[in-house]
Amino acid sequence: MKSKRKYLFWAILAGIVYFFLSYHIIFVGNNLKLLKKSRHTLDYTFFSTQGKTDIAILSVDDLREDGIGELLVEMGRLSEDQLEMLITQIEESRKD
């Protein structure tokens, strides 16, 4: 019986670790949103948008590639046009 509990414990722990490797947990104001990661990593697992400008949020490559811009539009923080403008601005600044 003890070995079943042990296996259950390790299975739950493995599931939690896999979850943290697979999702960004984004705090937008008082809301909590999940954003699927494009690759398994612990980078930016927890991220708060509070006190950050939109361009600072979108400047994080991992988050931008995983769709944080669309999340900001969904939450009403940005419009589609603003998102496109900011992404263009970030890409142009990276070329210099």
Mean pLDDT across the stretch 72-89? 94
Given a cut of 90, whether residue 93 has pLDDT beyond it is no
Q: Which residues of 56-72 are buried (b: 16+ CB within 10 A; e: fewer)?
A: ebbbbeebbebebbebb
Confidence of residue 90 (pLDDT cuts 50, 70, 90): very high
Residue 35: strand pairing partners = 24
* Better-scored residue on pLDDT, 73 or 94: 73
Q: Is 78 exposed, middle or buried (0-12, 13-18, 19+ CB in 10 A)?
A: buried
Count the domains in the chain. Answer: 1
Average confidence score pLDDT of the chain: 93
Looking at residue 2, its pLDDT comes to 81
Range of the domain at 44: 2-95
- pLDDT(36) > 90: yes
